Amino acid sequence: MFTDLTPYLFFTGKGGVGKTSLASATAVKLADEGRSVLLISTDPASNLKEVLETKITEKITPVNGLPNLHAVNIDPEISAEEYRNRVISPLQDILPEHELKKIREELSGACTTEIAAFDEFARYVAGDGDEQPYDVIIFDTAPTGHTLRLLELPAAWSDYIETNPDGASCIGPSSALKTSQKRYKKVVERLQDKGATTIYLVTRPDGSALREAERSGRELDEMGLSNQVLLINGYFEPIDETDPFAQKMKAKADQTLHTMPVRLQAMKQQLFPLRPYNLLGLDRLRTVFEPLDKEQIIENSRSILTEQHESELPDLDAFVDELTSKKEHGLVMTMGKGGVGKTTIAAAIAFKLAGRGYPVHLTTTDPAAHLTEHIGELSLPASMTVDRIDPEKEKQEYIETVLGQRGKQMTEEELKLLREDLESPCTEEVAVFQAFSKAIHQAKRKFVVVDTAPTGHTLLLLDTAGSYHREVLRNTKMDATRLKTPYMYLQDPDYATLLIVALPETTPITEAAALQADLRRSGIEPYAWIANQSMSAATITDPLLKQRAAEEVPLLEEIEKKHADKLYAIPWISGDQVLQALIENRDKDVMA
């Protein structure tokens, strides 16, 4: 894997495929070999703390037990606050306090947060002119859509600054960014240099993950980031050849890999086996590059008695029954870390509601999600519609609407300036939020099921909702008690039903708990948790799978006792048609 080691390594891919595990294992291996390594997370939903068992902050921190391995987590909120201070500081002796306050409010949106995070990211790639103290810098990036957005930003800023030199937007006064253009150019050049940067496309033997790897690989290639390697994580080979569940898992994985996109088949690639445990801590991370010890796995499994814990937990049908017993319309949102199955669960809920005769609209706010791929060839019920909030499409429609409304009485010069202003990177943020608001309002007359983006993106979107809410209340001349903003709808449990989806694993549960805490601080109370892909409910004899199932049981109990008022569960489905199995409630038939 490291025959042509470059100083910059990027691990990217669909959420939940194991980017952090492989990035961390690589960092540990290189550090063990004597190299000086810096591991950076650019994921708003980072879980480096759990994986490395070290308190990782926005400051570079040595990893416990490995003095030549350091790690840092680029915290978007802290980066945004520091960025705002840098923009406002030169103006403090020039502008009155109310003007400074207005600028700070304008810099409080999700767009600013994203750009500030990239500003930190650029500093590590381009450096600050000092000699690089690390042999290798490893980036554990956010899920694919977020990563691609960050890599596209320098061009967006450059275009905006060149065409609107005196303007200001959510990125602050554009003149404040001019000093950074040289750095951003250096970042792109370094990323495009095959001798400097390697892109590891991380995937699993899963159709949607492979399609995402192929799609992001092509897009990165178009940006000039063409030194790519495919890493297939979590490949399962049965130890017990008589276990039908295990055989189904392997057959499904083999078929998926056999039919993977041609571009991926032609790439350099490496396979990493499924381990009987979660990769937490240095000792377990060190096993990533070692072959499985099957004899030890068999020995360990002899003492394991897997409980049928999840058979006692209600399933999706029970959730839909409860939902429809209380209302005939409303908003349902699936939320959580990337890769936990939010899209499939959202689609299954929508199909089940439509199957009961309710009008349903299914949509997604995830820039990397493609609902049509999840639905496949399934026939949509007559009462169900499907779309996705496409950022580029929403941006163009928003621009045309604004030009139509504001441009009628403008001169050519004024129109030109308006068009330039609308090319600001934050226009997309506003457009996506408006589309999100429309979806929320549709729930007044039908069920609207929203598959949200991975956690970090979702919180940014909700932050935009909160900013809009505050702006409306500040500027309205109406009685505030008669207003209801999108944010207020999300806070209304009679209108919005929020579901937190998590896998029964330590890191996804920790992340889901953090998301729930953030929501509660915003006055938004989740309705329930859904534990997805639970192995402990399956009928299995394979020693490796038995060990994975045994690790789940105390985690499910933790969710019930510490986190969720209600907990629903979905067993691991080993067949090809997971969504269809969920819709038809064939979970247990598929597993048997």
Give the span between the Cα atoms of 565 and 573, in whole angstroms: 25
544: DSSP letter: H
Give the span between the Cα atoms of 215 and 369, in whole angstroms: 11
pLDDT of residue 78: 81
pLDDT of residue 131: 60
Q: Are 440 and 489 within 8 A, CB to CB? A: yes
Q: Are 429 and 111 within 8 A, CB to CB? A: yes
Cβ atoms within 10 Å, residue 369? 27
pTM over 0.85: no
**From 12, 41, 42, 43, the catalytic residue:** 43
Cβ atoms within 10 Å, residue 256? 19
Across the 592 residues of the chain, what is the mean pLDDT of every consecutive 10-residue run? 84 85 95 94 77 88 92 83 82 84 73 72 72 85 60 58 50 48 77 92 90 89 90 94 91 93 94 92 94 88 56 83 94 86 91 95 76 78 88 80 79 78 67 79 93 59 55 47 68 92 86 86 90 83 90 89 92 76 61 36
Provide the Cα torsion 575, 578, 581, 585; round to 10°: 120
Dihedral sign of CA atoms 276, 277, 279, 282 in order: negative
Lookup: tokens for 349: 């809920």
In tens, the pLDDT along 309-350 reads 344 688 899 999 999 999 999 999 998 877 788 888 999 999
One-letter amino acid of 444: K
Q: Are 20 and 138 within 8 A, CB to CB? A: no
Q: Which residue has the tokens 């499985």?
A: 292
Question: Is 507 annotated as catalytic?
Answer: yes
Long-range contacts, stretch 174-178, CB < 8 angstroms, 24+ apart? 176/86, 176/87
Among candidate residues 43, 28, 38, the one with its CA nearest the CA of residue 59: 38
Question: Is 203 annotated as catalytic?
Answer: no
Question: Is 32 annotated as catalytic?
Answer: no
pLDDT of residue 223: 82
**From 13, 14, 15, 20, the catalytic residue:** 20
Give the span between the Cα atoms of 565 and 122, in whole angstroms: 42
**From 13, 14, 15, 16, the catalytic residue:** 16
Containing 23, the helix (H) or strand (E) segment is: helix 19-32
Give the span between the Cα atoms of 138 and 27, in whole angstroms: 7
One-letter amino acid of 287: T
**From 13, 14, 15, 19, the catalytic residue:** 19
Q: Are 37 and 68 within 8 A, CB to CB? A: yes
Do you know the residue count of the chain?
592
What's the angle, vertex CA 520, arms to CA 519 and CA 525, rounded to 5? 85
pLDDT of residue 307: 45
pLDDT of residue 149: 61
pLDDT of residue 353: 96
One-letter amino acid of 567: L
Which alpha helices (DSSP H) does 367-425 contain, by range? 371-375, 391-406, 412-422
In tens, the pLDDT along 519-533 reads 888 788 999 999 998
**From 18, 207, 336, 338, the catalytic residue:** 18
Question: Is 109 annotated as catalytic?
Answer: no
Question: Is 404 annotated as catalytic?
Answer: no
Can you state the angle between helices 207-222 and 244-258, rounded to 10 degrees? 30
Which alpha helices (DSSP H) does 74-109 contain, by range? 76-88, 97-106
Query: Which residue ranges form the domains of the chain, and what is each CATH number?
Result: 8-292 (3.40.50.300), 310-591 (3.40.50.300)
Q: Are 515 and 500 within 8 A, CB to CB? A: yes
Give the span between the Cα atoms of 331 and 484, in whole angstroms: 15
Can you state the angle between helices 455-475 and 144-163, rounded to 10 degrees? 50
Give the span between the Cα atoms of 342 and 484, in whole angstroms: 27
Question: Is 574 annotated as catalytic?
Answer: no
Can you state the angle between helices 110-126 and 76-88, rounded to 10 degrees? 90
Q: Are 498 and 335 within 8 A, CB to CB? A: yes
What are the backbone angles phi and psi of residue 62, rounded to the nearest 5°? -70, 140
Query: How far from the centroid of its chain's Cα atoms is residue 386's Cα?
Result: 21
Q: Are 537 and 245 within 8 A, CB to CB? A: no
Question: Is 20 annotated as catalytic?
Answer: yes
